[in-house]
Structure 1
Amino acid sequence: MPVVDAWMQHPTLRHSNHEMFESLRRWTGMGMLEEPLPVKTTVAALAAADVEIGLSAAWYGPQGPLISNDEVAEFVAQSEGRLRGVACVDLAKPVAAVRELRRAVEELGFVALRIVPWLWQLPPTDRLYYPLYAACAELGVPFCTQVGHTGPLRPSETGRPIPYIDQVAIDFPELTIVCGHIGYPWTTEMIAVADKHPRVYIDTSAYTARRYPPELVEYLRGRGRRKVLFGSNYPMITPAQALEHLADLRLDDETTELFLSGNARSVFRLGNQS
């Protein structure tokens, strides 16, 4: 069954070898990259799990781009149609950030914006985000963000679904919000927020199927089958690793298709085929 990976990135050396990811390297056993990862390696990892489209994101932080939008555009160009771009911007420069988002969507063909709040140590309700929310709604692209605890060595408070995602969804009912990393240990909060707001979704990135919290599996099997998207967080976890125990969730065929690709195709307006 074809797959859309809603949260991944093709890394640069600046991104992959950053000191803040030391904890992730310790957990996964991955070492530092000694040379840039070829795009063909990422394409092969996606193809191994039948991933037709990987949403490859840029990363911007207070010290500058770890993966720039133009680098992502180059990765997309080399991917033989396997990758689509997800923009990032400098949150500290709101006017320039909106201009860059517009450029990424209108000129580079990117399909979403992603901001990682812990990287900025600013919750999603901070005023610096609000021009970008309005721009996303106007451009018709989702806002993607991280929820739950922070694996890298940064504080976790910014990942709370309540009050932060809840408040943003109240203030911007036209905005589509995709919340990556499940929300653990606040998964029940995240489910409540997704239930409450029709345009709020959850993606499963950074977790393998065998590690999904029971409350998320129950939600996915039932009323949340149109609210949960598959994500891997490649290269930390490959899509094949993330999906290895999918059968153990005992999802029916319709739910499996929605989870693996149908919901993402609708949310990110990807069409029926890559």
Structure 2
Amino acid sequence: MSLDLDTIVAIDVHTHAETDGCGHYALPDEFRAGAGAYFGTRGGPPDLHQLAGHYRQRRMAAVVFTVDAEAALGHPRLRNEDVAAAAAEHSDVLIPFGSIDPAKGRAGVAEARRLVTGHGVRGFKFHPSIQAFFPDDRAAYPLYEAISELGVPALFHSGQTGIGAGLPGGGGIRLKYSNPMHLDDVAADFPDLTIIIAHPSFPWQDEALAIATHKPNVYIDLSGWSPKYFPPQLVRYANTLLKHKVLFGSDFPLITPDRWLEDFAGLGIKDEVRPLILRENAIRALGLAG
């Protein structure tokens, strides 16, 4: 069964594969505990089959990915192939993204090509703060070039992160890497690469809005925050200049789509813009229609 856009009411472009279901987790235990405290979550994360069921019950589709930060964290990642295999099993609701640590160089480029051509991966997730790299570092450009040639999007964490929050020294995680302004060069140098800036980019919201307004290939997802906390300029741009470039994302399991949508219902978004944010813009950004 494949994704039926006629029956899907919303597309969540930002959910996390946190466990392989066999006792291995995407992040070290201290980071998982810190993030749970930061977001107020309880219990263990769902596996990919449970995640699929959660979205199927709600008639939603979900982009799902892990984060490969093996070089910086020394923690074995979840296998991209496993994420892709689970998504294939639940292709009516799950859209698989890969994650490749830019430190992997040529091996990472080869993996990106293999994941798209052989495993049905539809995009890639980067988390500069956890992976400890500036997105405009030219060492990452061969990987972007491959992703652009493959015709799939690249999604980048931006702004503050709950990963490492509350730990001594923030667990060594540095926020500087996730200033969205580092994506401006990437967007300029790879105009055919669809870039998604993830999250309200605190404390750099204006930078993200400027880039998305200036560069046709840049979108913003709204994950990681309850909509009731969105900065007013983000709401204003979502209603006007960026109404075709803003995407629904939750950050599940850290924030549930139910909680996000309940708060979104009370946000001052125009009626004609809501379906764009919840579904239509994602169809275009992810290339789902063709």
TM > 0.5? yes
Deviation at 1:148, TM superposition (A): 0.8
Q: Does 1:230 align with 2:238?
A: no
Q: Which residue of 2 aligns with 1:45?
A: 54
Match of 1:178, SS?
A: strand
- Tell whether the 8 Å contact from 2:195 to 2:218 is kept in structure 1 after alignment: yes
Deviation at 1:192, TM superposition (A): 0.6
1:217 and 1:30, CA in 2 relative to 1: closer, same or farther beyond 3 A?
same
Task: Report the Cα distance in structure 2 between the residues aligned to 1:131 and 1:151, rounded to whole angstroms.
Answer: 29
Q: Which residue of 2 aligns with 1:265?
A: 283
Task: Report the Cα distance in structure 2 between the residues aligned to 1:171 and 1:206, rounded to whole angstroms.
Answer: 28
Task: Report the Cα distance in structure 1 between the residues aligned to 2:119 and 2:17, rounded to whole angstroms.
Answer: 17
Q: What aligned pairs does 1:170-209 form with structure 2 within 5 A after superposition? A: 170-209=188-227
Letter in 2 for 1:251: I
Match of 1:226, SS?
A: coil
- Tell whether the 8 Å contact from 1:39 to 1:79 is kept in structure 2 after alignment: no
Deviation at 1:82, TM superposition (A): 0.9
**Equivalent of residue 220 in structure 1, options 222, 225, 238:** 238
Equivalenced residue count is: 268
Structure 2 unmatched ranges of 5 or more: 1-7, 165-172
Q: Which residue of 2 aligns with 1:111?
A: 122
Letter in 1 for 2:68: Y
Q: Which residue of 2 aligns with 1:6?
A: 13
Deviation at 1:250, TM superposition (A): 3.2
Match of 1:253, SS?
A: coil
Q: What aligned pairs does 1:250-261 form with structure 2 within 5 A after superposition? A: 250-261=268-279
Question: Percent identity over the alignment?
Answer: 32
Task: Report the Cα distance in structure 2 between the residues aligned to 1:240 and 1:49, rounded to whole angstroms.
Answer: 9
Deviation at 1:242, TM superposition (A): 1.2
Deviation at 1:31, TM superposition (A): 4.2
Worse-superposed segment, 19-28 or 108-117: 19-28
Worse-superposed segment, 218-227 or 86-95: 86-95
Match of 1:92, SS?
A: helix
Task: Report the Cα distance in structure 2 between the residues aligned to 1:29 and 1:184, rounded to whole angstroms.
Answer: 19
Letter in 1 for 2:202: Y
TM-score, with structure 1 as normaliser = 0.91
Deviation at 1:80, TM superposition (A): 5.2
Worse-superposed segment, 225-234 or 19-28: 19-28
Q: Does 1:58 align with 2:66?
A: yes
- Tell whether the 8 Å contact from 2:101 to 2:131 is kept in structure 1 after alignment: no
- Tell whether the 8 Å contact from 2:16 to 2:252 is kept in structure 1 after alignment: yes
Task: Report the Cα distance in structure 1 between the residues aligned to 2:286 and 2:76, rounded to whole angstroms.
Answer: 24
- Tell whether the 8 Å contact from 2:126 to 2:156 is kept in structure 1 after alignment: yes
Letter in 2 for 1:243: L
TM-score, with structure 2 as normaliser = 0.86
Q: Which residue of 2 aligns with 1:169?
A: 187
Match of 1:66, SS?
A: coil
State the Cα deviation string for residues 176-227 of structure 1 (Å, max 9, x = none). 1101012111111110111110101100111122121111111111111011
Letter in 2 for 1:172: F
Task: Report the Cα distance in structure 2 between the residues aligned to 1:39 and 1:101, rounded to whole angstroms.
Answer: 21
Task: Report the Cα distance in structure 1 between the residues aligned to 2:76 and 2:126, rounded to whole angstroms.
Answer: 12
State the Cα deviation string for residues 106-151 of structure 1 (Å, max 9, x = none). 1111110111111121110122310111111111111111111222
**Equivalent of residue 135 in structure 1, options 146, 150, 153:** 146
Task: Report the Cα distance in structure 1 between the residues aligned to 2:257 and 2:174, rounded to whole angstroms.
Answer: 27
- Tell whether the 8 Å contact from 1:39 to 1:78 is kept in structure 2 after alignment: no
Deviation at 1:23, TM superposition (A): 2.5
Task: Report the Cα distance in structure 1 between the residues aligned to 2:128 and 2:229, rounded to whole angstroms.
Answer: 23
State the Cα deviation string for residues 56-88 of structure 1 (Å, max 9, x = none). 113211235432111102321332521011011
Q: What aligned pairs does 1:139-150 form with structure 2 within 5 A after superposition? A: 139-150=150-161
Structure 1 unmatched ranges of 5 or more: none
Task: Report the Cα distance in structure 1 between the residues aligned to 2:144 and 2:16, rounded to whole angstroms.
Answer: 22
State the Cα deviation string for residues 23-81 of structure 1 (Å, max 9, x = none). 22112333463xx7343421233245441x21111321123543211110232133252
